[in-house]
Amino acid sequence: MEWDFSGIIPALPGLWNGMVMTLQLMVMGVVGGIALGTILALMRLSSNKLMSNVAGAYVNYFRSIPLLLVITWFYLAVPFVLRWITGEDTPIGAFTSCVVAFMMFEAAYFCEIVRAGVQSIAKGQMGAAQALGMTYGQTMRLIILPQAFRKMTPLLLQQSIILFQDTSLVYTVGLVDFLNSARANGDIIGRSHEFLVFAGLVYFLVSFSASWLVKRLQKRITV
């Protein structure tokens, strides 16, 4: 078998469009996942048993099922649920369904990272803030969470790298991400092996470089 990578250069614009799609999915999934995960973490840390149990059930459920199932479920099942609730057809595009799936799935993992970060802060700081007359919300927003996020930034970034790799699963709903674009271009010219090797190399370089930067960042921000 002869290898010929010459077809990759003309296909670079299409591959770049696929990479843009991959990065959009990752960024939106990370931002939404961290936001929802932070809320879930505060619920799990709450003294209210109902809130804590609901958040715990959410985290345990999404951490016990594969991401591929979540993507497929949101793409296929949610429109039927919305039709049953509203009585009208409410189509959900592949991009929107994937973003929501990533947000909800990753929120379960970000929740545990945030919870561990909050619990790593000395409990005396909460008491000191309350002694100064600060409310629970003010204490979390101004004192606890800023310190916690500083400590857990490397873990949040590592989870983001994992999501970058997991975005390749969107091929199941027909989205043209970087991997799907490479596969399609390779099939067109009959060089699928070369394009898949190139895609694997790109994923490796991006993930390895990001992991190296995270380790450097961890050393710089460690208190």
Domains of the chain, by residue range, sit at 12-221
Please name the residue that has the structure tokens 């993930």. Answer: 207
What is the pLDDT averaged over residues 5-20? 90
pLDDT number for residue 222: 65
For the structural domain made of 12-221, what CATH number should be given?
A: 1.10.3720.10
Q: How far apart are CA 106 and CA 110, in angstroms?
A: 6
> Rounded to whole angstroms, what are the CA distances from 100 to 19, 67, 157, 186?
19, 12, 19, 30
Report residue 144's pLDDT band, with 50, 70 and 90 as the boundaries.
Answer: confident
Return the number of other C-beta atoms located less than 10 Å from residue 27's C-beta.
14
pLDDT tens digits for range 90-114: 667 789 889 999 999 999 999 999 9
Q: How many helices (H) and strands (E) does the chain have?
A: 10, 0
Tell me which residue of 42, 149, 58, 72 sits closest to 104, measured CA to CA: 58
Nearest to 123 by CA among 139, 110, 112: 139
Return the structure tokens found at 160: 């983001």
**Tokens 């699928």 correspond to what residue?**
192
- Dig out the tokens for 130 from the structure: 């309350």
State the CB neighbour count (10 A cutoff) for residue 163: 20
Looking at residue 92, its pLDDT comes to 75
Number of other residues whose CB lies within 10 A of the CB of residue 54: 15
Distance CA 160, CA 28 (A): 11
How many percent of the chain have pLDDT more than 70?
Answer: 96
Mean pLDDT over residues 60-71, rounded? Answer: 94
Question: Per-residue pLDDT averaged across 146-171, rounded?
Answer: 90
Give the Å distances, CA to CA, from 161 to 94, 95, 210.
22, 20, 7
Determine the Cα–Cα distance for residues 217 and 204; give it in Å rounded to an integer: 20
Residue type, 113: I
The pLDDT mean for the chain works out to 88
Position 132 pLDDT exceeds 90:
no
User: Given this model, what pLDDT does residue 218 score?
Assistant: 79
What is the per-residue pLDDT for 125? 82
Cβ neighbourhood burial of 158 (10 Å; 0-12, 13-18, 19+): middle
215 token code pair: 């380790």
Indicate the DSSP class of residue 121. Answer: S
| Residue 47, pLDDT above cutoff 60 | yes
At residue 89 the predicted structure's pLDDT band, cuts being 50, 70 and 90, is low
Percentage of residues of the chain with pLDDT beyond 90 = 50
